[in-house]
């Protein structure tokens, strides 16, 4: 089955630093999303990005579907960015599959 | 506008007991989903519903049943709980059909422990 990998698994940043999170997937996918889970467990959708580049404030994401990866950029990080970042891919197969990656745990320290 | 709500927030069951997790959304979304999240892992799709009256299996459906009662509500039932079902359960909804995988809005989660 399709494999979704995320790197790095853990990341500690000083407030104000920039970072790049990566999501690799092993097969062609129809869609991809990035999510943030805050330290209290709340899940928020960040980007719906099957291809191309999108930006939302300090966050931006790029998906290169032909090369099977997506990147999430966080600029000028803040402590509220802490939490786990997941990418999730959707592919059509014998049944609809939504596969989440294992996540990148980010800690932003003041 | 409450978004996606889930009840209960916490539950402890004994092996073999049954229970139903409730989910409701007030955004007039067509699709609804149930996921489980185990420690240190991403979410895994249990079941989803593209519209009222229809349900489909996701990645890990065994041991669960679902019911899309109406457009607003999507319940998840454990008929005979097992310790392997200890997890955090998230309900989500989206405007479009699941294949579109458009923006999903999540509930706060239900933390279930099966002893």
**pLDDT, tens only, A84-93:** 999 998 876 6
Spatial neighbors of B69 by CB under 8 A, at least 6 apart, are B75
Opening angle at CA A8, ends B110 and A78, nearest 5: 70
Give me chain B's average pLDDT, please: 92
Cβ–Cβ below 8 Å for A86 and B42: yes
Averaged pLDDT of chain A: 91
* Interchain pair A41, B88: CB under 8 A: yes
Partners of B92 on chain A (C-beta within 8 Å) are 43
Judge whether A9 is closer than 8 Å to chain B, CB to CB. no
Token pair 């009662």: residue: B69
- For chain A, give the percent of residues with pLDDT over 90: 72
- Dmax over CA atoms of chain A, in Å, equals 47
A97 falls in which pLDDT band (50, 70, 90)? low
Q: Is B58 close to A95, i.e. CB distance below 8 A?
A: yes
* The pLDDT value given to residue A11: 96
Per-residue pLDDT, A6: 96
pLDDT band at A51 (very low <50, low <70, confident <90, very high): very high
């Amino acid at each position: 089955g399709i494999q979704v990998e995320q790197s790095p698994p853990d990341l500690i940043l000083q407030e104000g630093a920039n970072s790049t999170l990566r999501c690799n997937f092993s097969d062609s996918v129809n869609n991809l999303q990035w999510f943030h889970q805050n330290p209290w467990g709340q899940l928020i959708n960040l980007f719906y990005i099957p291809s191309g580049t999108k930006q939302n404030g300090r966050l931006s994401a790029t998906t290169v579907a032909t090369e099977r990866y997506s990147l999430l950029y966080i600029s000028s990080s803040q402590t509220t960015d802490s939490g786990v970042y997941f990418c999730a891919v959707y592919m059509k197969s014998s049944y609809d599959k939504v596969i989440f990656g294992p996540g990148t745990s980010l800690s932003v320290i003041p | 506008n409450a978004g996606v709500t889930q009840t209960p927030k916490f539950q402890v069951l004994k092996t073999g007991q049954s229970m139903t997790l409730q989910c409701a959304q007030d955004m007039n979304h067509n699709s609804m989903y149930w996921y489980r999240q185990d420690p240190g892992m991403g979410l895994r799709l249990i079941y989803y519903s593209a519209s009222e009256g229809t349900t489909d299996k996701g990645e890990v459906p065994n041991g669960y049943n679902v019911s899309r009662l109406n457009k607003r509500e999507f319940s998840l039932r454990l008929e005979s709980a097992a310790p392997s079902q200890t997890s955090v359960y998230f309900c989500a909804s989206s405007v479009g059909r699941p294949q579109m995988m458009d923006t999903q809005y999540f509930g706060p989660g239900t933390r279930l422990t099966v002893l």
